[in-house]
Structure 1
Amino acid sequence: MPQRRSVARAAVTASAAAACLALATPAWASAAVTNPTLRQAGKHVLASNAEFDQGFGNCAGADQQAGQDIWVFIWPGNGVESVDAVKIGWDTDNDKTADTFKTLADGHFTTDNGAKKVWFATPAGWQLESGESTIHGQVPQNLFNLTHTCSGTTQTQSPSPTPSTTGSESPSPSDSGTPTPGQPGGTETPGPSGSVGGGAGGGGSLPITGVAATSIAVTGIALIGGGIALMTLRRRRDRITFTS
């Protein structure tokens, strides 16, 4: 009899434990893992798109810097326990294909009335092309959305100013193209006789040539010699005395 009571007590205890475990299991269970994709994939969205752009600095919680675009994504509804992985692709070379990607490590979490959000900062001018995610929970149509953006200003380099020239420079005599007499490349003005330069005082006398100068010199010497000879003869005459 005592043995039967022990067996009955053990059975009751096991049943109670199984019932408690069954009641607790739903509380311990985690939401299913799903993989929502981006609703705006392939639409080549710029942050400056009027449908999404809230204006520079107006994305709550985002510390936007000059030259940056801010992108805010949302997993709608309250059925998401966690966002575990995100990969967003942008086109940076304008070929309409994603070539640069950011992951959850590059993003920042926010919430909006219980809905999970993640925002990213990119250089201004990138185009949104693709997005995929892994979450614990479910979202309608298994899609997450770009909810809004804050576009920045694309950095452009101003062209160098073109120096202006005012007036025209008068060329110097040496630059005028007409050689100046007396300078290299110039021309000399011939005198009346064809020799270089004119006569003294601007007159028209002929220049003394080499032959004429020699003749004058010889004549002068001859005259001087003759004068000396005459003076010598006269002195001799004055010395002669006559006797009777």
Structure 2
Amino acid sequence: MRVAVVTGASRGIGRDTALALAAKGLALFLVAEGTPEELASAEAECRAAGAPEAAHAVFDLGTPGAPEAMVQAALARFGRVDVLVNNAGIRCRKPFGAFTRAEFDGLIAVNFAAAFFASQAVLPAMRAQGGGRIIHVASQTGRVAMEDNSLYGPMKAALIQLTKNMAFELAKEGIQVNSVSPGPIATQFNIESYGRIPGRVEQLEGRLPVGRLGRPTEVAEAIAFLATCEGGFIQGHDLVVDGGYTII
């Protein structure tokens, strides 16, 4: 039985990723911050979708020691971790010059440090198993500049670079490391955020060659592919799922 840990799994891309992995027969350990009811609901959906086993736990991954504790909890429950999906993240959009140190530190803690230390924590188990897969959920904003994005974008760029460095070091141990960079996706959070700016959705759709926002399931399918595809020749790759936004 293969086991996947998915962070930020209570809603949006994380929840759909968990369901996609469940449909492929993986057991799931679902993690999010402060959303136990939603996590319990996601766990039940994963079981219904085909997961042989599923469990959930609440962790604030921005807290020092929490990523490591999460991995240990997953190992205690299942005895192994074959796939780690580092999806948890937060946003803070402001003009450059308006950020506080607390906002800076908070974004680094959740968007970069959590993935970094969770990945380090899972290494001993993956090495003992003879391999594993680690997938970071980055963003198209780690590749292109956008308004009010001088903090979130660089953190996602750092995650893409972390992917490459980890892949370079760990490939010979049978550990595949890749990332997925979503573009404008119609998650509940994004729709609410876009709705605060008149015409923002129409502006984005006009900018996208496909003419629409992406669906969370489309990102989940990409993550599930990297987590379960046969062979080990995809290494250190950032798979952009953005409807063509970055090709223009």
Same fold by TM-score, threshold 0.5 exceeded?
no
TM bin, normalised by shorter chain, reads under 0.3
Structure number with the bigger relative contact order (C-alpha 8 A, sep ≥ 6) is: 1
Relative to its length, the structure with more strand (as a share) is 1
TM-score where L is the length of structure 1: 0.18
